Amino acid sequence: MQRVFKPLFKSLFGQVLIALAVGILVGVFSPGVGVSLKPVGDGFIKLIKMIIPMIVFCVVVHGIYGAGELKKVGRVGLKALIYFEVVTTIALVLGLALAFLFHPGEGMNIVPASLDASTLGTYVDNANKVKSAGFAEFILKLIPTTVISAFTSGDVLQVLLFSVIFGCALSLVGEKARPVADMISSLSEVFFKCMSFIIKLAPLGVFGAIAFTVGKYGIGSLKQLGFLVMLFYGAVIVFVFGVLGFILRLAGFNIFKFIQYLREELLVVLATASSDSVLPQVMKKLEYLGIKDTTVGLVIPTGYSFNLDAFSIYLTLAAVFIAQATNTPLAMTDLLAILAVALVTSKGAHGVPGSAIVILAATLSAIPAIPVVGLVLVLSVDWFIGIARALGNLIGNCVATVVVASWEKDIDKTRAHAVLDGDQAAIAAYDEDKLKRQTGLAA
């Protein structure tokens, strides 16, 4: 028994699991203390976000310079965007289909005039900004005011844009730029070492986040509240194991082994309801899997804004739910409009405060038939739905990275299978053989 518990206490997975259980107990037996622990969870996420811009910059720049061929970088980016659009569309259609198959809002008979719109506050104001922003404004938003502001705004896409430009310039300068590239490579190692310090605080962050949730909403908050929440969780499960599992199988990998490999990161996301909290360590894990840093550095940060699979399911599912709850009939043109608008609005979700409600409001504002005030119905359960959204989005982006890497032959599948199987002996033997081959080539 002691042999079992000792490794559990030592591993991050075990520590997070224990923190999760202790946080639930604190929230149940001392709700006031649980609510007061919210800054602990928020502080952990802020620490992670603090270091994300520099890690993205170092990984992308070093990856592009190391790739040598700029055409390849452009090809990876284009394939990633095509993949994002196809899979996001499938997610949007799945949300619509499930809403019409199970009718989650039917029978509620809500009169829109009876709803209190004051609780929406700034959500609607921000939604109007998103709605009024055209394609040109969306593109302009990607361009930072200054180089420094790209790193202070918290917008990963702005950092990514500057990183790609800087990396391409570094690559074109050639050998003269090697000292700069070496310095960035060293900086990358330093920032990842910083991240290793921060991630040790994950159990503390998880403890604070889950204690606050249970303390504020009660033990019932851990259950799927209402049919809509259950349906959404079911939809994400179907999408992950059905759609993403099939896509990953085509690339030659097993979705269950893949999720097992990412279990520590997924557990942190489960407690914090934020995929941002694990971005750096996920990138590192995908590189360890055998994927080239160029592909990881381009696909993961871009996916955080352009490949929000679970978020896309939520947009269409919630829109139809509100229509059903308020007895609003939807014509086929309305459904097509929801799909078209959601394809655009979902791309601006990352980095927007209260993003799910804001983007949903922007989507509904473009569909006159559905009352925007119906957002009040989903506002109370949004945090719980956000857990599944964050998990689904993260898994979707990790799968996308593996798929794009497979298309580009940027993944060492022999090593990847050894890592996913947890075969440390095979990994060590493979690395040793690779080192011998590289040494032989060098000689």
- Non-local (6+) Cβ contacts of 396 within 8 A are 87, 240, 244, 303, 307, 308, 309, 310
**Domain ranges within the chain, ordered by starting residue:** 65-171+225-411
Quick one: which of 66, 49, 62, 73 has its CA closest to 156?
49
Burial class (CB within 10 angstroms; exposed 0-12, middle 13-18, buried 19+) of 125:
exposed
Q: Which two tokens stand for residue 47?
A: 């620490």
Give the pLDDT of residue 398: 94
For the full predicted model, state whether its pTM sits above 0.75.
no
Least Cα distance to 346 among 319, 374, 315 occurs for 315
The superfamily in CATH containing domain 65-171+225-411 is: Sodium:dicarboxylate symporter (1.10.3860.10)
- Nearest CA to 359 out of 396, 308, 394 is that of 308
In whole angstroms, give the CA distance from residue 84 to residue 74.
15
Q: Report the C-alpha gap between 67 and 172 in whole angstroms.
A: 12
Walk along the chain (443 residues) and give the pLDDT tens digit of each residue. 444 444 556 666 677 778 878 888 888 888 888 888 888 877 876 777 787 788 778 877 876 776 556 677 778 878 888 998 899 899 989 998 998 888 887 776 766 765 555 555 554 555 555 555 555 665 677 788 888 888 887 666 687 788 878 888 888 887 888 888 888 888 878 887 887 787 778 788 778 877 876 777 565 544 434 678 889 999 999 999 999 999 999 999 999 999 999 998 898 888 777 777 788 888 889 998 999 887 888 888 778 777 888 988 988 898 888 888 888 887 777 777 777 777 766 665 554 444 666 667 767 766 777 777 777 667 656 777 888 888 999 999 999 999 999 998 989 898 899 889 887 776 776 666 666 555 555 54
- Rounded Cα–Cα distance for residues 138 and 344 (Å): 10
- How many CB atoms sit inside 10 A of residue 98's CB? 21
As a whole number of angstroms, the distance between CA 418 and CA 415 comes to 5
422: helix, coil or strand? coil
User: Residues 351, 357, 363, 368: is their CA dihedral positive or negative?
Assistant: negative
Confidence (pLDDT) at 3? 46
Full 3-state SS string of 140-178: HHHCCCCHHHHHHCCCHHHHHHHHHHHHHHHHHHHHHHH
What is the DSSP code (8-state) at residue 330?
-
Instruction: Classify the phi-psi angles of 262: left when phi > 0, otherwise alpha if psi is within -120 to 50, otherwise beta.
Output: alpha
The neighbour count for residue 90, using CB atoms within 10 Å, is: 17
**Cβ partners under 8 Å of residue 414, min gap 6:** 290, 430
**Four-point Cα dihedral 380, 384, 386, 387, nearest 10:** 170
Q: How many Å apart are CA 62 and CA 181, to the nearest integer?
A: 6
What Rg, from alpha-carbon coordinates, does the chain have? 23
Output the 3-class SS for 188-253: HHHHHHHHHHHHCCHHHHHHHHHHHHHHHHCHHHHCCCHHHHHHHHHHHHHHHHHHHHHHHHHCCC
Cα angle, residue 163 at apex, residues 159 and 166 outer, rounded to 5°: 140
Q: Which residue has the tokens 């497979």?
A: 406
Amino acid 353: pLDDT: 42
Dihedral pair phi/psi, residue 325, rounded to 5°: -65, -30
Q: Are 167 and 61 in contact (CB under 8 A)?
A: yes
SS3 helix, strand, coil % of the chain, rounded to 5?
Answer: 85, 0, 15
CA distance 437 to 323: 63
